[in-house]
């Protein structure tokens, strides 16, 4: 099914097309229907090499979140931004669920690229009771800017000579993006536009990773903030993990978990430089 552009937005069709970004949609498979074609999975045990040092925060060992088999994913990723092999592995403190606006919480998550070596299924020091294992499947998709993002501000600016976006845009955007999922699912994705639940995350990423607290307005009003702001556009959405009843995951009140990385760090495979945030309504 293809999302139809509302009549009120026909004049903006070419502009909207310019603001689309390719993304990789993914979804969980029901256990009894699962015929996995790759090692990508959410929850359960992580595939790790012997001697792997399990990541931990100051509070506790982190929980295994999900693992992406790059042999199955990389060809779908725009501009081949990910390596062609290996297991991109995400950890997060599911117990305390840090929000990402405090520099002191930067140890509450971790992203590790496991090279193409011999691996085995390993449970963390504290068994993951939150996320049952689900296999993942992927598809090439496109995304549109979401209100609250820097990309949406640019879209409005580009459209302003032609008119103003109506509320029809938000229904259209939702229908446009959901057409890439084979059945009702959370809007899980790699790269592309973030589906913001709240405000801009790129500036927050830039400020927090440079030591500024953004749980209130203090970080944004810090004397260093204006000098740091131009670097906000260097941050790319690496992973968006939505709340999803089918996968037994809920971030706050129907929120989303996002992982971001600077373009340069991505090119240099510096996944230790990732920043994470949680947003909810």
CATH number, domain containing residue 206: 2.30.320.10
Task: Pick the more confident residue, 247 or 272.
Answer: 272
What confidence score (pLDDT) does residue 182 get? Answer: 86
What confidence score (pLDDT) does residue 130 get? Answer: 67
1 belongs to a structural domain: no
pTM for the full model?
Answer: 0.94
Q: Where are the beta strands (DSSP E) in 7-131?
A: 21-28, 41-42, 46-48, 63-69, 87-92, 109-114, 120-122
Domain that holds residue 250: 7-279
What confidence score (pLDDT) does residue 127 get? Answer: 67
% of residues, the chain, pLDDT over 70: 95
Rounded CA gap, 212 and 49, in Å?
36
SS3 content of the chain, % helix, strand, coil (to 5): 30, 25, 45
pLDDT, tens digit, 9 for 90 and up, residues 215-227: 999 999 999 999 9
Task: Pick the more confident residue, 190 or 78.
Answer: 190
In the numeric block, the tokens 């959410």 are attached to: 42
What confidence score (pLDDT) does residue 146 get? Answer: 96
175 belongs to a structural domain: yes
Name, in order, each residue with C-beta under 8 angstroms of 224's C-beta and a sequence gap of 6 or more. Answer: 210, 212
92 belongs to a structural domain: yes
pLDDT, tens digit, 9 for 90 and up, residues 119-160: 999 988 876 566 888 999 999 999 999 999 999 999 999 999
Q: Is the pLDDT of residue 1 over 70?
A: no
98 belongs to a structural domain: yes
Q: Is the pLDDT of residue 36 over 80?
A: no
What confidence score (pLDDT) does residue 105 get? Answer: 92
Name, in order, each residue with C-beta under 8 angstroms of 33's C-beta and a sequence gap of 6 or more. Answer: none
What confidence score (pLDDT) does residue 186 get? Answer: 87
91 belongs to a structural domain: yes
pLDDT, tens digit, 9 for 90 and up, residues 174-222: 999 999 998 777 899 999 999 999 999 999 999 999 999 999 999 999 9
What total number of domains does the chain contain?
Answer: 1
201 belongs to a structural domain: yes
2 belongs to a structural domain: no
């Amino acid at each position: 099914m293809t999302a139809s552009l509302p009549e009120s937005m026909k004049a903006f069709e070419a502009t909207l097309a310019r603001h689309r970004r390719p993304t990789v949609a993914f979804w969980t498979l029901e256990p009894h229907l699962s015929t996995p074609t790759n090692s990508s999975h959410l929850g359960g045990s992580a595939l790790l090499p012997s001697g792997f040092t399990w990541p931990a925060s100051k509070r506790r060992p982190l929980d295994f979140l999900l693992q992406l088999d790059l042999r199955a994913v990389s060809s779908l990723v725009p501009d081949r931004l990910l390596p062609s092999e290996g297991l991109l592995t995400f950890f997060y403190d599911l117990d305390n669920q840090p929000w990402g606006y405090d520099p002191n919480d930067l140890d509450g998550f971790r992203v590790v690229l496991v090279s193409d070596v011999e691996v085995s299924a390993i449970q963390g020091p504290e068994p993951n009771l939150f996320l049952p294992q689900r296999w993942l499947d992927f598809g090439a998709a496109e995304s549109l800017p979401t209100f609250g993002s820097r990309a949406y501000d640019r879209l409005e600016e580009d459209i302003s000579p032609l008119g103003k976006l109506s509320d029809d845009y938000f229904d259209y955007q939702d229908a446009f993006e959901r057409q890439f999922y084979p059945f009702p699912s959370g809007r899980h994705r790699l790269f592309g536009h973030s589906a913001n639940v709240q405000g801009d995350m790129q500036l927050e990423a830039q400020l927090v990773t440079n030591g500024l607290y953004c749980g209130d307005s203090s970080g944004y009003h810090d004397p260093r903030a204006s000098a740091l702001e131009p670097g906000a556009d260097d941050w790319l959405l690496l992973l968006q993990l939505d709340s999803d009843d089918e996968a037994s995951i809920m971030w706050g009140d129907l929120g989303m978990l996002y992982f971001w990385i600077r373009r340069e760090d991505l090119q240099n495979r510096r996944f230790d430089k990732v920043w994470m945030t949680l947003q909810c309504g």
